[in-house]
Structures are given as structure tokens and as C-alpha cells.
Structure 1
Amino acid sequence: MRFLICCLLLFIDQVMASDYRLGAGDQIQILVYGETDLTTRIKIDKSGIISFPFLSDITVSGFSTKALENKIADGLRGDYLIDPQVSVSIVMYRPFFIHGHVKRPGGYPFQEDLTLDKAIAIAGGLAARASKSSWNITRLVDGQKTVFEANVSSAILPDDIIEIEQSFF
């Protein structure tokens, strides 16, 4: 039973990672098995384009790690390698931001399974005059900035901007 639960958790983790879309600020590691000269760590800049040996510049923003693995493998296949085995992993996610009435507003490194209550704790907790319920998250959805009301269990994603309002009572 314990083995089954571990396998299920690993599967869920992989599914969630495959849904994640790369963007500016993410640091990734690209590994081509058996080709140590092609292993590299790259921080994605605001252009969303990276350079990779033997390939032209690659646009990576908006790609999942799996899609990027396939794109690099396809580019290397044929002229350079017969059957390249490429792995792309996220070394460091881009940050989330929290401002308003918290003790230490600012940008913080994103962590897996981050919720609003955890983000507030990372920022040192609520300030004395902070609202206990008027919290908003600004998130880029399909290229549009979207603002929505949040609660303690709201999921936080990289690049989210959290606003903690002031309480009037």
C-alpha cells in the first residue's frame, strides 16, 4: 500500500510539472545523456529565448519542460545525434511577489505547493493593520492580467502578485 501511495504521489508531481509553463526568470538544466558538453544550466531572460549548442536560438517561454525536451531532441536528431535523450528540469522557479500589509513585502522564490497562507508566512506574517480577508492575486492568464479575490488556500504560482489590503476596523 505504501508503495502504491508513493507511486501515485510521484505521478501527480510529474503531471503538475508537465503543466508548468516556462517563463522569464526560471532557471533550467538541460541534459543530453552521454553528451556532457551539451549539459547546461540557463536562466531564461525576459526575451524568453535561449541559445543551445548546435541549434539556433530557441524560444522557450510558454513551453512545458516535456515540450522543450522534444524540441531540443528533434533539433539534435540526424546531423549530430542518432537518438538524443534529452532531459529538461527546473532548477529554480521565477519568484512570486507580495506587497501591501505584510511585515516583509517583496519578491520571494516560488516553492512547489505554495498557498496564500504559506506566502504570507514567508513574508513574515500579516502586519498589524492588515485585512484578514481582503486579499487579491494578479495573475497573467492567456496573456491578460487577471485580478481575483483569494483566501488562505488559494494556490500561488510564479509571477503572481499578491496584494494584502489594509483593514479599516
Structure 2
Amino acid sequence: MNEQEKQAVAAMNLPFCIPSNARGRAPRLAALGLAATLALSACAPGSGLPKLAETAPASYTLGAGEEVRIVVFGQTELTGRFTVNDSGTISVPLLGDVPARGKTTDQLAQTIATDLEQRKLLNSPSVSVEITKYRPVFVLGEVKTPGQYPYEPGMTALTLVAIAGGFTYRAQTGYVSVLRKEDGQVEEGQAPRGEELRPGDVVTIFERYF
């Protein structure tokens, strides 16, 4: 390896890995090719993102665009499906607008039960709430059909890619980017393709260099 080639490898901050008995031009070219490959890997799209932060499992809270089914035992007029609007409320018969955004289903059920009792509409009402439609998830980049897709509990980044038609031939398939809103804060991080998604996540599939 001549001095110019050594400088090229050194500029990539890589160690020399050429056996002492290596001779000739072919080993030198192979070393430079390996160095270039590793250097490209180090600066591949998304490779510099921090790892997606791990957060402890928490009770899921409602957001705008989601649909819930409310059941008030023995009260068919109060039972039905309701959508959380952009203001974060649902419109419930006899109660009007009820705050829903940021509440768990149990908290929303308790709010409705308390309102019904305080307004003397029902005594000790039994209320249950379940989510029937979650916020969508989004996938961008190197998939065949980027866009918005319905969220399903247990969905992973790879599941979403499959729903979007699979990777393109240019896709970086080893990791993804996940943009997530958590407690009012937006964060983006690199995640394995088996990362379990949450409603509202935005997944980006990067293009590979080689």
C-alpha cells in the first residue's frame, strides 16, 4: 500500500487490516473498496438518528379522529359510537360536548357517569367505553405505496410495510425511522423493523446507498 492509499484509508478513520504478507495491487484495491463500503454505511440515510427512546408501557389515551363506543347500561339513547373531534371532545346526547382527548377509556367512562349523576339524569349509571377506530399510521419513503393506513393493535413497522406493498428494491431494510408524539413532545428515532407502532406514528423507509 503506497502512501497515497494509506492516506485515503486514514481519512475514513478506519484501521489498516492488510495482512503483512499481502502483496500486489489486488489486495490494495480490495482494502480501499472495503473502506469505501464501510464509510458509505456510516453515512447512509437515517444511520445518524438516535435510537428511538424506550418508554414504559402506559395506558393509552384518546386523540382527535378516534372513534369510541359508549355503552350506558339500560339507556339505548345514550349508547352509540362517537368520534373525538378536532377540539378533543365528543358530543353525547343529553350531555353535549364531553372532553375526551388525553383521557383513557376508563377515565372517559367515569367522566360521563359523573356528569349523568351530577345532572340528576341517572342514579349510579354504569358506563363503559371502548375504542373502535384508532388514529391512522403513516409510511413514507421506499415502499411501493406510501400513505396513510388504519392502525391495528400489535402492528409493527414491518407489518405496515407489508400493508403498503412491501419494500422497493432501493430500500434500506435493516432499520426504519419512527416519528412519534409522546406527552405533547415529538421525537424521531431509529428503530428495528420489528418495532411495535402506536397510533399516529410516522414511519420512514430510507433509500440504501448500495
Matched, 1:67 2:91: no
Equivalence for 2:74: 34
Equivalence for 2:116: 76
Matched, 1:124 2:165: yes
Note the C-alpha offset of 1:134: 4.2
* Equivalence map 1:1-169=2 (5 Å): 19-78=59-118, 79-169=120-210
**What is the aligned-residue RMSD (CA, Å)?**
1.4
Once the two structures are superposed, what CA deviation does each residue of 1:34-78 show, in whole Å capped at 9, x if it has no partner? 000111211212211112122242111110000000000011115
The structure where strand makes up a greater share of residues is: 1
Once the two structures are superposed, what CA deviation does each residue of 1:109-146 show, in whole Å capped at 9, x if it has no partner? 00011111111111111111011224100000121110
2:163 partner amino acid: I
Once the two structures are superposed, what CA deviation does each residue of 1:134-169 show, in whole Å capped at 9, x if it has no partner? 410000012111001011221101100001111110
Partner of 1:166, secondary structure, is coil
Return the alpha-carbon distance in structure 1 between the equivalents of residues 200 and 176 of structure 2.
16
Return the alpha-carbon distance in structure 1 between the equivalents of residues 147 and 84 of structure 2.
21
Return the alpha-carbon distance in structure 1 between the equivalents of residues 137 and 208 of structure 2.
23
The percent identity for this pair of structures is 39
- Contiguous gaps of at least 5 residues in structure 2: 1-56
Partner of 1:77, secondary structure, is helix
2:113 partner amino acid: A
**TM-score, structure 1 as length reference:** 0.86
Partner of 2:111, secondary structure, is helix
